[in-house]
Structure 1
Amino acid sequence: MNKKHVAVIGAAGQVGTPLTKGLLSLGHQVTIIFRAHNAQNDAKLTEFETLGATLVECPDMKNVNALAKALRGVDTFVASVPGSKEIIREFEPLWLEAAVKAGVKRFVPTEFGAHTQALEMGDGEIFDQKKRFHDQLMNSSLDWTLFYNGGIFDYFLPNLRFFSKITTFGDLNIPIYTHDIEDIGYLAAMAVTDDRTVNRCVQLDYNALTQNEMLTQIKQNWPDTPFEYEHFSTEYIIEQKESSGDEITAKKGSETDKERWGINYVIYVIDKLAAFTDQTLRASEIYPDYVCKRPQDALKDEKFIFEG
């Protein structure tokens, strides 16, 4: 694999941290663009710098000229940030403009979740925003890679961390593709620097369990534990997708209710957390020797299940 110069925004985030460590461990030149040092990111940024990354402070992430200056000589730009409406509508178009101005070759937008390219407009508000930006990206002069990891263990395996009860949604027999965050970051680092993935989608597909299979394993692993369960039906998800507004009432996350139920609709009703379109490469086929952590093992881990 040819060594690349990769710029990352969001390097200290949930996916950004293992992604950046992966890029550095693979020997790529890494430039981290960040707004400012703070208590949340300082230790990670210091670690990245020790590992060889270049840090570029950019207080105004909408300053196209400043970003273009930071991106000179960069092969690939990665937006490893949460895909909020504000980021997608107000920031990414400016980052794309800066990347074009700087002569960047490949742009990797914020995805790291459900397979947006396989969705139709109207399937979910946040995905509609992403699809509109994808049109801008694909009509630009830059190459691109869309990386889809499906779910993250922390959010998709039945557990007691984010809800008071084990919570399930929609069709319990839909296969849920879910992976450990460290694997996601490292595989993303490989994918966004791989010449085979230029102008392609990459779908992680090593692990798949239905919600029913997950629940069965929980019961088998802790037969004497009296779990409480809550289920949101397909009909309820559809109703909430259509009727919810812009309030933020979820215990975990910053999505609006409308966005959150749109995400649940895509995953648990129309089965598009993962997808395998003609333009999609399966990670298990392009990286057949990579061994992922298994959800079956996480579901046996008492600390993972109960402490989080």
Structure 2
Amino acid sequence: MNDGTGRTIALAGATGDLGGRLLSALIRRGVEVRAVVRSTTPAASQDAVRAGGGTLVPVDFADEAALTAALAGVECVVSVLNGLEPVILDLQGRLLDAAVAAGVPRFIPSDFSLDFTKTRPGDNRNMDLRRRFMARVDTAPIRATSIFNGAFADLLIGEAPIVLPRFLRILYWGDADQPLDFTTKDDVADYTADVALDADAPRFLRIAGDVVSPRDLATSMTRLDGRRWKPFRAGGLGRLSALIRIARTLSPKTDAPFSAWQGMQYVRDMSSGRGKLSPLDNGRYGKTDWTRAEAVLAPTI
């Protein structure tokens, strides 16, 4: 863990789930966190940032001068903004421009995903947006670092579960032995805090709290549960792609960044191996307490 005493980091997105965890991780390091929030942010969310130790800076992101002033004197701007094009490209783009205008030396964009530098354009809407922003940040006069963490580990038991307790099965597509990258949000936040304080951080950093295949997950659940779990193949990647097309066609248009078909696109990028993280940079800051998949799964038993 890096000592951030006397140092100032700007954080955009502190009112969100990952943002709140990152705020806490930075505060634990003694960092002064300038939490830049939209002036329309609800009072309760602003109060939560203050309670978490952040220095709240409400600003109109459309006011270039005000946003630039909000970032003056910080050593790194970290974005954990979440959304579709109006957020990832437009809002985050304004943040990038203001950081450059303020003379901020470093910028961490809101990537936090599988490795979209290796995936195919057009396969994943959210990764395409991040790819477009990457092209923009790479032409800006600022040093950027993207952090790739695979899937957040709550995918294992969350809204799109692959763990099926009723059937004692691990749902997968394609190959039961395909390695998959999972990292908890707390581990991502902890690592990102160190990256924000690292003036020599490279352009890309890749981390995974655990790397497990569907077959590995079945073995873990058998060990935890005492009953025999098995991998369950829902189909090949071609079938998954067909289902994505159908789901996307039938789904109403929405501004939600994680619609059902978008989650399916993410699973496809993981299951194909194209988004696999390699090499891993887990050891760069000496962090050893990574949360393994079994620890995430254990509360489900």
Output the TM-score relative to the length of structure 1. 0.82
Match of 1:13 in 2: 16
Q: Residues of 2 paired with 1:163 and 1:130: CA distance?
A: 25
Per-residue CA distance 1:173-225 (angstroms, 9 max, x = gap): 22122122212111111112212314x21111342111221122223322459
Correspondence list, 1:1-308, <5 A: 3=4, 4-35=7-38, 36-38=40-42, 41-48=45-52, 51=53, 53-58=54-59, 60-155=60-155, 157=156, 159=157, 162=160, 166=164, 168-170=171-173, 171-198=175-202, 200-223=203-226, 231=234, 233-242=236-245, 244-245=247-248, 248=251, 254-256=257-259, 259-276=262-279, 282-301=280-299, 305=300
- The answer on whether the counterparts of 1:114 and 1:150 sit within 8 Å (CA) in structure 2 is yes
Q: Secondary structure of 2:286's partner?
A: coil
8 A Cα contact 1:77 1:99, kept in partner? yes
* One-letter identity of the residue aligned with 2:258: E
- Amino-acid identity (%): 19
Shift of 1:97: 1.3
Flag the 1:98–1:13 CA change in 2: closer, same or farther, 3 A: same
CA displacement, residues 98-157 of structure 1 (integer Å, 9 cap, x when unaligned): 1111111111111111112233423322212211111110101011000112222211x2
1:12-57 superposed Cα distances (whole Å, 9 cap, x missing partner): 2121111111111112221001124536624521322xx3x31111
AA partner of residue 48 (structure 2): K
In structure 1, the residue corresponding to 2:248 is in which secondary structure?
Answer: coil
| Contact 2:162-2:172 within 8 A present in 1 as well | no
Instruction: Tell me how far apart the structure 1 counterparts of residues 251 and 205 of structure 2 sit (CA, whole Å).
Output: 31
Gaps of 5+ in 1: 277-281
Q: In structure 2, what residue type is equivalent to 1:187?
A: Y
The 1:297/1:164 distance shift into structure 2, 3 A limit, reads closer
C-alpha separation between the residues in 2 aligned to 1:299 and 1:130? 30
* Cα deviation, residue 76, structure 1: 0.8
| 1:59-80 residue CA offsets vs partner (Å, 9 max, x unmatched) | x333322211111112111111
Letter in 1 for 2:293: P
| Matched residue type, 1:293 | T
The offset of 1:165, in angstroms, is 6.9
**One-letter amino acid of the counterpart of residue 190, structure 2:** Y
CA offsets per residue over residues 275-296 of structure 1, 9 Å max, x none?
33xxxxx332313343212222
Between the aligned partners of 1:153 and 1:266, the Cα distance in structure 2 is 16
Q: How many residues are matched?
A: 289
Compared with structure 1, are the counterparts of its residues 83 and 118 closer, same or farther at alpha carbon in structure 2 (3 Å cutoff)?
A: farther
Find the aligned partners of 2:36 and 2:291 in 1 and give their Cα distance: 30
**TM-score between the two structures when normalised by the length of structure 2:** 0.83
Note closer, same or farther for the CA distance 1:248–1:185 as it changes in structure 2 (3 Å cut): farther
CA distance, structure 2, for counterparts of residue 126 and residue 14 of structure 1: 18
**Counterpart contact for 2:148–2:277, Cα < 8 Å:** yes
- AA aligned opposite 1:151: A
After superposition, the CA RMSD in angstroms is: 3.0
- Shift of residue 248 of structure 1? 5.0
Q: Structure 1 residues 165-174 or 20-29, which shifts more?
A: 165-174
Distance 1:270 1:180, change over 3 A: closer
SS for the counterpart of 1:283 is coil
Please say if residues 10 and 74 of structure 2, whose CA atoms lie closer than 8 Å, have aligned partners that are also in contact. yes
User: Is the 8 Å Cα contact of residues 126 and 257 (structure 2) preserved in structure 1?
Assistant: no
- The residue identity in structure 1 corresponding to 2:16 is G
Q: Would you say the 8 A contact 2:83–2:257 is kept in 1?
A: no
Q: Residues 294 and 43 (structure 1 numbering): CA distance in 2 closer, same or farther, change over 3 Å?
A: farther
